[in-house]
Amino acid sequence: MANSTHTADVIIIGGGLHGCSTAVHLARAGLKAIIVEKDHVGRHASGVNAGGVRRLGRAVPELPLANAALDQWHTIQELVDEDCEFASPGQVKVAETEAELQALSARRNKLLVLGHEHEEIIDRAQLRELVPAVAPHCIGGMWVKGDGHANPFATVQAFKRKALSLGCHILENAPVASLIKQAGIWRVISAQGHMEAPVIVNCAGAWGGGIAAMLGDRAPVEFRALMLMITARLQPFVKPVIGAQGRSLSFKQFGNGTVLIGGAYQGRAEPDRNKTHLDFSGLAANAAAAAAIFPALREARIARCWAGIEGHMPDSIPVIGAGIEEGAFHAFGFSAHGFALSPVVGKVIADLVTTGITDMPIDAFSIGRFH
Amino acid sequence: MRRIDQDNQPQVTIEFEGKLLAARRGDSVASALLEADQWTFRTTPVNGEARGPFCMMGVCFDCLVEIDGVANCQACMMEVRDGMSIKRQQGAGDIRLPLPNGDKKGDAP
Amino acid sequence: MKTHYDIAIVGAGPAGMAAASIAAEHDVSVLLLDEQNDAGGQIYRAVSRQNITDRSILGPDYYKGQDLVSELRSSGAEHITGATVWQVSPEREIGISKDGKAWMVTADQVIIATGAQERPFPVPGWTLPGVMSAGGAQVALKSSGLAEPDAVFAGSGPLLLLVAYQYMKAGIPIRAILDTTPRINLLRALPHLPSALTSIGELIKGRHWIASLVTAGIPFIKGVEDLKLLGEDAVTKVEYRIGKRWHKIDTTHVFLHQGVVPNVNLAMSAGCAHNWSKVQLCWHAQTDRWAESDIQGIAIAGDGVAIGGALAAEHQGRIAAFGALHRCGALKSVERDSLAAPFRKALSRELRLRPFLDAIFQPPKHLRIPEGEDTIVCRCEEVPAALIRDSVALGCVGPNQLKSFSRCGMGPCQGRFCGLTVSEMIAEACGVPVSEVGAYRLRPPVKPLMLGELAALNAEPGSTPGDG
């Protein structure tokens, strides 16, 4: 088993959501991929993120991808035969002060100039209509209709199952031991066997920097452990996904009644041991932010906290595109907002592999920006 | 359940599902309800199944009730207090959202 | 109230009380934390305020706990009651919650003494109202003097027999005792009989309980191989099988029990290594001879490590305290060794009966791993056995991956009542040992924490309950 060699059209390093999405899109284009995953599919960021599917507040270069992704999410069943528990109740970024509302207005204007109309300013009354439980002092916010969320566990499993059903091969518990290029063929040796293919895609998430180096590219990915907490099930009280302009907060209530609370609060990652450590003072600040926007939530019980290992780029936007070597491609480093983009990024990579071009603007994400 | 020994512990009055009950000071809410022959404390969020206390030591989380408007309270871990109002928790816990007039749902009139 | 202690102990059962009393004799700051309002843990629950006047009901073993409580009280160790510990981090930051306020303290040495919990008993209908664990029934008896007449006691193990015996002494009628101890266990236990005979007093005590129950006319039905609890919104009858025949008993109250297992959540969430015990069929913390885990400064003592009983727990607590004191610099190693020596002897004596008990009362596989489709495995999230087996068929190889397929283990009990079942089910379905399957990856808070409490955690140090 360990000495067998798998040949494929494409080797994908990393069995997270981007790896599986890439595999699915490649299969639809007639190419057989083999995914080599060091743990099990969805073990890291893909399985434990906040599940946000949004355009609101995105970095401008990501907006075309985010728009295309939203369309895909609304019909995700056609891509992976499952609904991934996608819901689109919209997203609101709450403003607590006039200054915050003005900052949001400035952002809206900036986006209008660039041709994006999805972010709308809402006033106090409109805010209350959308989010009845919001704290009395909130004066308005930004609203994006159609944004929403999905279930990360369900999504990555759905993509995995679809990839398998389309003939992809997945090797788990298979960290890459070595990787070389010989006569135009990439040869990878892993704990579960050898594989070779003319094309290789680096979807190794937080570990993407190390794989990039093996491919002759440079990408200073930082390991981050963003913390999340989830409550016990509660009666439904909020529909849209909630953020706050003046606080680090992301907040959503799932169909099963649990409320997921996150922000940009970091724990500590120990990537070699697949471990993360929580920082309770950060979680406390996160809880305080949630309680400030939803005072009624003070009595909700936090059932569990965790932090997944995510890859963060210094400019907070991902690496997507061709590598320096022929037949090498990258899609990693999504800096805590890659979940939503996954259905579309896989297509982008598949297009690059099959045709050499993509109709999505991805220059800003080139790995070359770090060389 | 019945008490096997009479003792001099003072009594308190609690309310369960709108009915007044006598309870013994120092007893847990769970014990007080069991003494009143109440073994169903809640219904589950997924299937609406009836549940009651199982471990009596705070690890099974089946004895969840609503106490004075606060949901998800473990009855076996809370001591009775005079005037305490206890309700069965039906499904997922409810949080006390502010009513339009500023009061909280569940506040005593 | 300080923010830092030399030694912090979590759990005021026999191990925790004994450890705190020892530690407080030395020049170190000691903090004992426990959820209950009185010391005693579960086994000695309410011993210091016991209102039942006839002491023969609860029995002499129970009242031994009073000595430990008195010792604790006079030791001067700071004891915070009503305090839920929701985290111990590898760096020994302890998260505490009391009366709606949460705060953190740190300690140089932590001793986790969280004791045991009931083993899951996943039979059809085990979640029905009216069905309680025998341990739960005993809590109602000890802490409130309450008992339910005409209940059926079902299962296996010393605790089941003890509670039935206590009921009998209290004059509470028992409908029947259904003993699920497998007959074959007697054979398995025979090799351990010689060392068990050195604790002959304990063996005789057990036989005496059974004999008394039988003499009292309580139906004592042995060799029960299978159980079903039936009812719509509450239990109304028990069906049990002996050989091929099913029998039934109408009853509205059932006390279930098939042993106790270590309550491992706090230690596991701290990151302490645990190994699967094939003998006790549960997770045992990895500890050295001073009770220190594989994480420096975190020790685990008592039934929370492996089931050994209350007296063994006491001695383990003391040994753990001596170890912690040495690591604090309060005791030289020579002093530590000589102070601990008599307790090591005592511990070894207490544990002589254990292999025999473990063998006799080992629950049979089909009562640990439900054979039926609909039997609830995860009580909190209502996940039936079939869903777990289906998940394995879809490629799930461990309890953590199960979260991709269902909410099994994601409810408030955090796997306390489904973890062992799930690990064993997956191991069996995959044909691998349980040690390979592993346990749920646990995280703080190990007990639910109110958002408002967490939000106030960063409040000024010193603003703790009782201040201002």
Judge whether residue B100 has pLDDT over 60.
no
Task: Calculate mean pLDDT across residues B74-102.
Answer: 87
H or E element at residue C144 = helix C134-144
Report CA dihedral (B100, B106, B108, B109) to the nearest 10 degrees. Answer: 40
From CA C94, how far away is CA C96, in angstroms rounded? Answer: 6
Judge contact between C86 and C446, C-beta under 8 A. yes
Contact (CB<8Å) B50/C172: no
Q: Of C104, C405, C451, which is closest to A298 when you measure between CB atoms?
A: C451
Q: Give C278's contacts (C-beta < 8 A, 6+ positions apart).
A: none
Contact (CB<8Å) B4/C141: yes
Q: In this structure, is residue C385 part of a structural domain?
A: yes
Q: In this structure, is residue C450 part of a structural domain?
A: no
Q: Tokens 């199982």, residue? A: B54
Q: Which domain holds residue C238?
A: 120-258
Coil, helix or strand for C208?
A: helix
A235 at the B interface (CB within 8 A)? yes
C445 at the A interface (CB within 8 A)? yes
Query: At residue C376, what is the residue type?
Result: I
Residues of chain B positioned with their CB less than 8 A from the CB of C139? 56-57, 76
Maximum alpha-carbon separation in chain B:
50
Q: How far does B98 lie from chain A, in Å, by closest CA?
A: 7
Other C-beta atoms within 10 Å of A180: how many? 10
Q: Which two tokens stand for residue A298?
A: 């003070």
Domain end marker among C258, C283, C306: C258
Q: Of B7, B24, B44, which is closest to C382 when you measure between CB atoms?
A: B44
Name which of B63, B97, B105 to mutate to probe chain A: the one with the most chain A Cβ atoms within 10 A of its Cβ. B97
Q: Which two tokens stand for residue C181?
A: 């101890």
Contact (CB<8Å) C136/B50: no
Instruction: Report helix, strand and coil shares of chain C as percent, to nearest 5.
Output: 40, 20, 40
Q: Of A153, A156, A284, which is closest to C455 when you measure between CB atoms?
A: A284
Other C-beta atoms within 10 Å of B42: how many? 24
From CA B74, how far away is CA B64, in angstroms rounded? Answer: 5
Judge contact between C265 and C448, C-beta under 8 A. no
Judge contact between A315 and C463, C-beta under 8 A. no
Q: CATH number for the domain including C382? A: 1.10.10.1100
Domain end marker among C258, C274, C299: C258
Q: Of A235, A256, A301, which is closest to B94 when you measure between CB atoms?
A: A235
Coil, helix or strand for B64?
A: strand
Judge whether residue B106 has pLDDT over 60.
no
**C252 and C300: one domain?**
no
Judge contact between C113 and C16, C-beta under 8 A. yes
Coil, helix or strand for C187?
A: helix
Residues of chain C positioned with their CB less than 8 A from the CB of B21? none
From CA A70, how far away is CA A149, in angstroms rounded? Answer: 10
Structural domains of chain B, with CATH: 11-88 (3.10.20.440)
Nearest residue to C97 (alpha-carbon basis) of B82, B74, A277? B74
**C150 and C278: one domain?**
no
Contact (CB<8Å) A302/C448: yes
From CA A91, how far away is CA A50, in angstroms rounded? Answer: 14
Question: What band does A196 get if pLDDT is binned at 50, 70 and 90?
Answer: very high
Report CA dihedral (C158, C161, C165, C168) to the nearest 10 degrees. Answer: 160
Question: Which pLDDT score is estimated for B8?
Answer: 80
Which chain B residue is nearest to residue A297, measuring alpha carbons? Answer: B95
Alpha helices in chain A (DSSP H): 17-28, 45-48, 63-74, 76-80, 98-113, 124-130, 152-165, 208-214, 280-293, 342-355
Residues of chain A positioned with their CB less than 8 A from the CB of B68? none
- Give B8: exposed, middle or buried? Use CB within 10 Å, 0-12, 13-18, 19+: exposed
Which chain C residue is nearest to residue A298, measuring alpha carbons? Answer: C452
pLDDT digits (tens, 9 = 90+) for A234-269: 999 999 999 999 999 999 999 999 999 999 999 999
Structural domains of chain A, with CATH: 5-51+153-221+315-370 (3.50.50.60), 91-145+222-312 (3.30.9.10)
Domain end marker among C284, C315, C331: C331
**C152 and C233: one domain?**
yes
Q: How far does B101 lie from chain C, in Å, by closest CA?
A: 23
Q: How far does C180 lie from chain B, in Å, by closest CA?
A: 20
Q: In chain C, how many domains are there?
A: 3
B92 at the A interface (CB within 8 A)? yes
**C208 and C294: one domain?**
no
Contact (CB<8Å) C90/A277: yes
Other C-beta atoms within 10 Å of A371: how many? 9
Instruction: State the chains in contact with B (3 or more Cβ–Cβ pairs under 8 Å).
Output: A, C
Q: In this structure, is residue C467 part of a structural domain?
A: no
Contact (CB<8Å) C127/B51: yes
**C127 and C223: one domain?**
yes
Q: CATH number for the domain including C164? A: 3.50.50.60
Q: Which two tokens stand for residue B63?
A: 């004895």
Q: In this structure, is residue C341 part of a structural domain?
A: no
Exposure pattern of A258-296 as b/e (b: 16+ CB <10 Å)?
A: bbbbbbebbbebeeeeebbbbbbebbbbbbbbbbbbbbb
Q: In this structure, is residue C344 part of a structural domain?
A: no
Judge contact between C48 and C66, C-beta under 8 A. yes
Contact (CB<8Å) C404/A275: no
Nearest residue to C269 (alpha-carbon basis) of C416, C420, C90? C90
Judge contact between C302 and C263, C-beta under 8 A. no
Provide the β-strand partners of residue C221. C178
**Degrees to nearest 5, angle at CA A78 with A75 and A79:** 100
DSSP-derived secondary structure letter, A150 = -
* Integer-rounded Cα radius of gyration of chain B: 14
CA count, 13 A, side-chain hemisphere, C421: 30
Judge contact between C81 and C11, C-beta under 8 A. no
Question: Which pLDDT score is estimated for C395?
Answer: 85
Report CA dihedral (A313, A317, A320, A323) to the nearest 10 degrees. Answer: -40
**C100 and C141: one domain?**
no
H or E element at residue A31 = none
From CA C439, how far away is CA C274, in angstroms rounded? Answer: 9
**C247 and C302: one domain?**
no
Judge contact between A261 and A305, C-beta under 8 A. no
Q: Of A133, A232, A296, which is closest to B72 when you measure between CB atoms?
A: A232
Judge contact between B20 and B86, C-beta under 8 A. no
From CA A77, how far away is CA A4, in angstroms rounded? Answer: 35
> Rounded to two decimals, what is the model's pTM?
0.93
Residues of chain C positioned with their CB less than 8 A from the CB of A157? 404-405
Q: In this structure, is residue C343 part of a structural domain?
A: no
Q: In this structure, is residue C420 part of a structural domain?
A: yes
Q: Of B1, B35, B50, which is closest to C234 when you measure between CB atoms?
A: B50
Q: Which two tokens stand for residue C372?
A: 């039926």
Q: How far does B109 lie from chain A, in Å, by closest CA?
A: 19
As for the ipTM of the complex, it is 0.95
- For helices C333-350 and C310-328, the axis angle rounded to 10 degrees is 170
**C241 and C277: one domain?**
no
Residues of chain A positioned with their CB less than 8 A from the CB of B95? 234-235, 237, 296-297, 299-300
**C383 and C293: one domain?**
no
From CA C330, how far away is CA C309, in angstroms rounded? Answer: 29
Report CA-CA distances (Å) from A269 to A83, A207, C90, C248, C253: 31, 12, 14, 56, 49
From CA C69, how far away is CA C47, in angstroms rounded? Answer: 8
Q: Of A40, A291, A304, which is closest to C443 when you measure between CB atoms?
A: A304
Judge contact between A42 and C404, C-beta under 8 A. yes
Contact (CB<8Å) B52/C132: yes
H or E element at residue A172 = none
Q: Of A237, A257, A301, which is closest to B97 when you measure between CB atoms?
A: A237
Q: In this structure, is residue C224 part of a structural domain?
A: yes
**Degrees to nearest 5, angle at CA A309 with C378 and A209:** 150
Q: Give C39's contacts (C-beta < 8 A, 6+ positions apart).
A: C12, C17, C32, C48, C68, C69, C72, C79, C81
Residues of chain A positioned with their CB less than 8 A from the CB of C93? 280
pLDDT tens for chain C, 468 residues: list them: 689 999 999 999 999 999 999 999 999 999 999 999 999 999 999 999 999 999 999 999 999 999 999 999 999 999 999 999 999 999 999 999 999 999 999 999 999 999 999 999 999 999 999 999 999 999 999 999 999 999 999 999 999 999 999 999 999 999 999 999 999 999 999 999 988 888 888 888 989 999 999 999 999 999 999 999 999 999 999 999 999 999 999 999 999 999 999 999 999 999 999 999 999 999 999 999 999 999 999 999 999 999 999 999 999 999 999 999 999 999 999 999 999 999 999 999 999 999 999 999 999 999 999 999 999 999 999 999 999 999 999 889 999 989 878 899 999 999 999 999 999 999 999 999 999 999 999 999 999 999 999 999 976 554 444 333
Q: Tokens 């041709």, residue? A: A115
Judge whether residue A2 has pLDDT over 80.
no
A234 at the B interface (CB within 8 A)? yes
Q: How far does A230 lie from chain B, in Å, by closest CA?
A: 14
Mean pLDDT of chain A: 95
Q: Of B39, B61, B72, which is closest to C129 when you measure between CB atoms?
A: B39
**C283 and C245: one domain?**
no
Alpha helices in C170-199 (DSSP H): 184-189, 193-197
Residues of chain C positioned with their CB less than 8 A from the CB of A40? 397, 401
Q: Which two tokens stand for residue A77?
A: 């069943």
Q: From the DSSP assignment, how many helices (H) and strands (E) are in chain C? A: 17, 23
The residue count of chain C comes to 468
**C65 and C132: one domain?**
no
From CA C49, how far away is CA C63, in angstroms rounded? Answer: 11
From CA A160, how far away is CA A170, in angstroms rounded? Answer: 9
Judge whether residue B108 has pLDDT over 70.
no
**C50 and C137: one domain?**
no
Contact (CB<8Å) B56/C140: yes
Which chain A residue is nearest to residue C87, measuring alpha carbons? Answer: A280
Contact (CB<8Å) C451/A281: no
